[in-house]
């Protein structure tokens, strides 16, 4: 069965059609990660942007099991310069049918500088269409933007939205995002990793469920949601 695995912060596993894909594989240095990077053997890595808490352990995991890395053109060029060979570059608005799902890059309002100061291009989110037809929207690090309404028009089953505030949307803007995206389920991410992004996800869940039709699933690090 397809499922979503939460590894804490913004690190998400997707088991789709028998393939493991990890979005933003940040294990080493992630105080919420329930396991280390050596314990994951993904076939695919999706990177939303260049910041250290998202690029994470991409290079170590690549050396370990050679997953295909999917990201924007600039991040892929950086990874190629670091010896990564199994890559697939896309860019905002472009979709491609990968072995595990169709993946479209979406807009995100944020930065994307890579750890060595290289230009990471525009940050992205991902709209992922599983073989089952289920659509998962991983917003990436982003502030609120009105074009979330366009993404919502596609019919989202599960949205993964940051609620931590400070670096991304906080709880109030994330509620406004839910109103535009209208997903069946929303999973809050990118909170409680450090004091600066401390939030109460259950308080947010109450608010969202009171004011929208969306169901909130709060996943503890290590927990999974069957799709
Ligand atoms: Ni970031
Ligand atoms: Mn971040």
- pLDDT 10s digits, 3-14: 999 999 999 999
| CA 153 – ligand 1 centroid, Å | 26
Q: What percent of the chain shows pLDDT beyond 70?
A: 100
| CA 132 – ligand 1 centroid, Å | 30
> 3-class SS at 159?
strand
| CA 138 – ligand 2 centroid, Å | 13
Parse the chain into domains and list their residue ranges.
3-226
- Ligand sitting nearest the alpha carbon of 49: 1
| CA 217 – ligand 1 centroid, Å | 23
| CA 168 – ligand 1 centroid, Å | 8
- Which residues fall inside 5 Å of ion ligand 2, going by CB? 53, 141
**What's the rounded Cα separation, in Å, for the pair 71 and 74?**
8
Could you give the count of Cα atoms lying within 13 Å of 221 in the half-sphere of its Cβ? 18
pLDDT at 42: 98
| CA 56 – ligand 1 centroid, Å | 11
| CA 89 – ligand 1 centroid, Å | 19
| CA 64 – ligand 1 centroid, Å | 25
What value does the mean pLDDT of the chain take?
Answer: 98
Neighbours of 41 (CB within 10 A): 12
Could you give the count of Cα atoms lying within 13 Å of 75 in the half-sphere of its Cβ? 33
CATH 1.10.357.10 fits 3-226, yes or no: no
- Ligand sitting nearest the alpha carbon of 196: 2
Contact 60, 45 (CB under 8 A): no
CA angle 147, 119, 9 (to 5 degrees): 60
Could you give the count of Cα atoms lying within 13 Å of 79 in the half-sphere of its Cβ? 31
Q: For each successive 10 residues of the chain (227 residues), what is the average pLDDT? A: 97 97 98 97 98 98 98 98 98 98 98 97 98 98 98 98 98 98 98 98 98 98 97
Contact 136, 130 (CB under 8 A): yes
Q: What does pTM read for this prediction?
A: 0.97
| CA 164 – ligand 2 centroid, Å | 9
| CA 48 – ligand 2 centroid, Å | 10
- Which residues fall inside 5 Å of ion ligand 1, going by CB? 51, 141
| CA 169 – ligand 2 centroid, Å | 11
| CA 72 – ligand 1 centroid, Å | 15
**What's the rounded Cα separation, in Å, for the pair 190 and 172?**
14
Question: For residue 17, which of 129, 184, 149, 152 has the smallest C-alpha distance?
Answer: 129
pLDDT at 92: 98
């Amino acid at each position: 069965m397809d499922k979503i695995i939460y590894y804490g912060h913004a690190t998400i596993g997707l088991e789709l059609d028998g393939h493991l894909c990890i979005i933003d594989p940040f294990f080493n240095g992630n105080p919420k990660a329930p396991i280390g990077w050596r314990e994951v053997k993904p076939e695919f890595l999706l990177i939303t942007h260049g910041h250290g808490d998202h690029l994470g352990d991409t290079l170590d995991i690549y050396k370990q099991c050679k997953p295909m890395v999917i990201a924007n053109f600039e991040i892929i060029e950086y990874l190629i310069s670091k010896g990564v060979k199994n890559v697939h570059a896309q860019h905002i608005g472009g979709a491609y049918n990968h072995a595990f799902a169709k993946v479209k890059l979406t807009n995100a309002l944020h930065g994307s500088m890579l750890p060595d100061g290289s230009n990471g291009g525009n940050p992205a989110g991902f709209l992922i269409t599983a073989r089952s037809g289920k659509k998962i929207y991983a917003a990436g690090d982003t502030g609120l933007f009105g074009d979330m309404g366009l993404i919502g028009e596609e019919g989202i089953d599960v949205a993964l939205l940051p609620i931590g505030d400070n670096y991304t949307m906080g709880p109030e803007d994330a509620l406004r995002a839910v109103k535009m995206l209208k997903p069946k389920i929303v999973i809050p991410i990118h909170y409680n990793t450090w004091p600066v992004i401390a939030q109460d996800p259950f308080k947010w869940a109450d608010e969202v469920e009171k004011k929208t039709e969306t169901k909130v699933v709060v996943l503890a690090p290590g927990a999974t949601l069957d799709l």
